[in-house]
Amino acid sequence: MGSSEQHILVTGGAGYIGTHCSVQLLQEGYRVSMIDNFYNSVMEAVDNVKELVGPSLAKKLQLYKVDLRNIDELEKVFSLNRYDAVIHFGALKAVGESMQHPFRYFDNNLIGTINLYQVMAKHKVKKMVFSSSATVYGQPGKVPCVEDFPYIPMNPYGRTKVYCEEMGKDVQKADPEWRIIALRYFNPVGAHESGKLGEDPKGIPNNLMPYLHQVAVGRLPELNVYGHDYPTKDGTAVRDYIHVMDLADGHIAALKKLFTDEDIGFTVYNLGTGKGTSVLEMVAAFEKACGKKIPIKLCPRRPGDATAVYAATDKAQKELGWKPKYGVEEMCRDQWNWAKKNPMGYQKKA
C-alpha cells in the first residue's frame, strides 16, 4: 500500500493512461494531483475516476487545469503541495501529426518536460516516472526489443521521447539525488473493466484498437489493414499489445521502486507482454469479443511501419516484480465493453 502521506503528481492525468493509473494510485492509498491542459482529454474522464474510486478516495484527488508549458502556473501547483514523486504522462502522441507539425511536438513534449524538471528540482521533488515509448526502437534490427538497443526514432514524436529520456539521464547525472524511471510502453489497448474509462481519440483514429472500436459501433465502415506482404505468419505486421490496466500496474511498481531503491539512478524498463500479435489476429480476437464481423480492406503498407515489434520483458519482471496479467482476449473484451457503453466516446452518449 502507498502511504497516505505520499502525494503523487500525475501530468496528463485526465488522459487515457493517466486516468487508469490515477484510479490504481488512489486505490493503493496515494494522494493524487492531476495536471492536464485538456488538449486531448475531457473532464468527464476525471469525473468517472472519482465515481470509480468512491467519495472517500475521491477526496484525495486534486485537479489543476494547467499547461506544462506555463512554468508560472506549474510553479504555483508545486508551491501549493508537497509532492513525493511525479508520473509524467502529459504529452502529444500522434506520429502522423508530429511529421506535419514538428514544432507542436517540440513545444509540448520538450518544453513541457524541461519546465517540469526545473520546477521539480527547485522544489526538491526528485523522483520521476517518465512515460516513454517503444517508438524509441524505431524499426528494430531484431526482436524482442531489449532496453539497451540503440535509439532509432523515426519521426519527431519518437525523437521527443528520446530527447526526454536523454534529458532525464543528464539531470540525474548532474544531481545523483534524482531517481528516474523511464517506462517504454509497447501498444497500450483495452479499457477499465467498468467500461467507464477508455481511449477516446479526437477525429479519425490512427491506432488499430480505437479504429476497430469505431468500425464495430458503426462509426467507420471498414478497417484498412496496412500491409499484407510482411514476412510474418499471415503477412500483417506484428505488435506487442498491452492492457492499459497492466500498464497502470507497471507504473505503481515503478513508483515503489523509486521509493525503495536508492541506487536506481536513471533506469529504463520495457512495459509489454513479450507476445507478438498480428493485425489479422487482433481483428479475429476483436470479432470474437464483440460478436460481429469486422469488414476489412487490404491496403498497402503504412509508411514508417515496422514489420514486428515486441518487448523483452525480463528486466521489468525481475527488477520491478511486475508481470502483465491480461492477454489479447481480455484486452478486446474490455475494449468492447467500453465501446458498447460509450459508442461515441466520453462526449456524446448514444
Which residues within the stretch 277-296 sit at the binding site for ligand UFG (CB under 6 A)?
Answer: 279
Residue 40 binds to ligand UFG (criterion: CB under 6 A): no
Angle at 212 between CA 211 and CA 213, to 5 degrees: 90
In the complex with ligand UFG, which residue's Cβ is closer, 46 or 145? 145
Residue 243 binds to ligand UFG (criterion: CB under 6 A): no
In the complex with ligand UFG, which residue's Cβ is closer, 14 or 237? 237
In the complex with ligand UFG, which residue's Cβ is closer, 179 or 184? 184
Please report which helix (H) or strand (E) contains residue 112, including its range: helix 112-122
Residue 133 binds to ligand UFG (criterion: CB under 6 A): yes
Which residues within the stretch 80-99 sit at the binding site for ligand UFG (CB under 6 A)?
Answer: 93, 95
Q: What's the min distance (Å) between Cβ of 208 and ligand UFG?
A: 4
For the chain, helix (H) and strand (E) counts, in that order, are: 13, 13
Q: Binders of ligand UFG: how many residues, by CB under 6 A?
A: 23
Q: Of the listed 83, 137, 157, 226, which one is catalytic?
A: 157
Is 83 designated active site?
no
**Member of 207, 317, 319, 323 binding ligand UFG (CB under 6 A):** 207
Give the closest residue to 146 by CA, choosing from 263, 297, 318.
318
Q: Which amino acid is at 220?
A: L
**Member of 16, 78, 117, 226 binding ligand UFG (CB under 6 A):** 226
DSSP state of 300: P
User: Cell 458498447 belongs to which residue?
Assistant: 340
Q: What's the min distance (Å) between Cβ of 327 and ligand UFG?
A: 17
Q: What is the CA radius of gyration of the chain?
A: 19
**Member of 169, 302, 323, 341 binding ligand UFG (CB under 6 A):** 302
Residue 270 binds to ligand UFG (criterion: CB under 6 A): no
**Member of 224, 281, 317, 319 binding ligand UFG (CB under 6 A):** 224
Contact 197, 248 (CB under 8 A): no
List, as one string, the DSSP characters of 160-229: HHHHHHHHHHHHHHH-TT-EEEEEEE-EEE---TTSS-----SSS--SHHHHHHHHHTTSSS-EEEE-S-
Contact 222, 296 (CB under 8 A): yes
List, as one string, the DSSP characters of 122-172: HTT--EEEEEEEGGGG-S-SSSSBPTTSPP---SHHHHHHHHHHHHHHHHH
Q: What's the min distance (Å) between Cβ of 281 and ligand UFG?
A: 11
Among the residue ranges 105-113, 132-140, 170-178, 193-201, the one whose residues contact ligand UFG (CB under 6 A): 132-140
**Member of 91, 125, 129, 134 binding ligand UFG (CB under 6 A):** 134
Please report which helix (H) or strand (E) contains residue 103, including its range: helix 102-105
Q: What's the min distance (Å) between Cβ of 16 and ligand UFG?
A: 11
Residue 208 binds to ligand UFG (criterion: CB under 6 A): yes
**C-alpha–C-alpha distance, residues 226 and 123, integer Å:** 47
Q: What's the min distance (Å) between Cβ of 250 and ligand UFG?
A: 16
**Member of 48, 187, 313, 335 binding ligand UFG (CB under 6 A):** 187
Residue 211 binds to ligand UFG (criterion: CB under 6 A): yes
**Member of 147, 305, 319, 330 binding ligand UFG (CB under 6 A):** 305
List the 7-11 sheet strands across, edge first.
61-65, 31-36, 7-11, 85-88, 127-133, 179-185, 266-271
> Could you tell me how far CA 94 lies from the centroid of its own chain?
12
In the complex with ligand UFG, which residue's Cβ is closer, 119 or 223? 223
Q: Which residues are catalytic?
A: 157
Residues that bind ligand UFG (CB under 6 A): 93, 95, 133-135, 157-158, 187, 206-208, 211, 223-227, 237, 239, 279, 302, 305, 309
